[in-house]
Chains A and B, each alone.
Chain A
Amino acid sequence: MPDERILMGVVGRPHGVRGLVHVHSYTAEPADLPTYGALLDDSGRRWTLVWRGDGVAEMRDEQGRPLPDRNAAEKLVNTRLSVERSRLPKTEDDEYYLADLVGLAVMSAEGATLGRVTAVHDYGAGASLEIAGEGQPILLPFTRACVPSVDITAGRVIAVLPEEVVVATDAPTTAAGPDQHPA
């Protein structure tokens, strides 16, 4: 998927009268946005970005000219800035860009289709894949046991749904769970 574009940020409101703009960076480290080089807007124009303050940047066009004034900056508000997928650096083993994982087909080990990856969550306790198929979405831990195979080029992952631990003596008696005291 070399021609695919990845959204990296959006131009916000103008800052001052000298053509500076606020830029909302979506990168993992917001300050890293200029390290990807030229940023493409939706019409294909290339922009380079130089940080001039906290979240404030100078935008330069293909000829290297900065925006002259606030009026020019106002025209760029809400411009989406993206890069080609091929410009992202290679990942380590067992590491994947979220943009690559979203949209992959999810198959069982037997070859049955389970659905499609719609989102990847990470709240500080390991990544998990949200899989939309028939019925309720499934949240699957992104572990070797649950996702033994990831094939980006083929556009699919193999998933093994985990079983639920059941201990006979602690079955919840209410929908709220066993640790909730009755009102």
Chain B
Amino acid sequence: MARSVWKGPFVDGYLLGKAEASRASGRNEIIKIWSRRSTILPQFVGLVFGVYNGHKFLPVQVNENMVGHKFGEFSPTRTFSSHSSDKKAKRG
């Protein structure tokens, strides 16, 4: 069942404070979080989070397309590796 709209998106409170502190500092920082259940809000765009997957903190660079998704969607909990072949990585 979908979450009621009147409640608004769920976000653990401490994330808002950390995001605000990171944005205010303007330094090269990573925000380590355990809250995989929190929704990605528009004010998180441009920040880099380290989302815990039960083993390590995977870097998540938030962009506009990720707003509305949960942090946990971008930090898989199971090992996955693929061959590099012609795959490319773009520097963000």
Contact = CB atoms under 8 A, between A and B. Distances in A.
Contacts of A28: 85-88
B17 interface: yes
Contacts of A165: 18, 21-22, 25, 29-32
B58 A139 contact: yes
Interface stretch (A42-50, A54-62, A143-151): A143-151
A59 B7 CA distance: 58
Interface in B55-76: 56-63, 66, 73-76
A126 B28 CA distance: 16
A141 interface: yes
Interface in A1-45: 6-9, 26-28, 32, 36
A92 B88 CA distance: 10
Taking residues whose C-beta sits less than 8 angstroms from the other chain, chain A's interface range is 35 or more
Interface size range on B against A: 35 or more
A129 to B, nearest CB: 8
Contacts of B27: 163
Interface in A143-161: 143-147, 150, 160
B26 to A, nearest CB: 10
B28 to A, nearest CB: 4
B86 to A, nearest CB: 5
B92 A6 contact: no
Contact of A99 (B58, B85, B90): B85
B3 interface: no
A163 B31 CA distance: 9
10 contacts: A121-B58, A123-B75, A125-B75, A126-B59, A128-B58, A141-B92, A162-B48, A165-B25, A165-B31, A179-B14
Interface of B: 12, 14, 17-18, 21-22, 25, 27-35, 37-38, 48, 50, 52, 56-63, 66, 73-76, 81-92
Interface of A: 6-9, 26-28, 32, 36, 88, 91-92, 94-99, 101-102, 119-128, 137, 139-147, 150, 160, 162-165, 167, 169-170, 172, 176-180
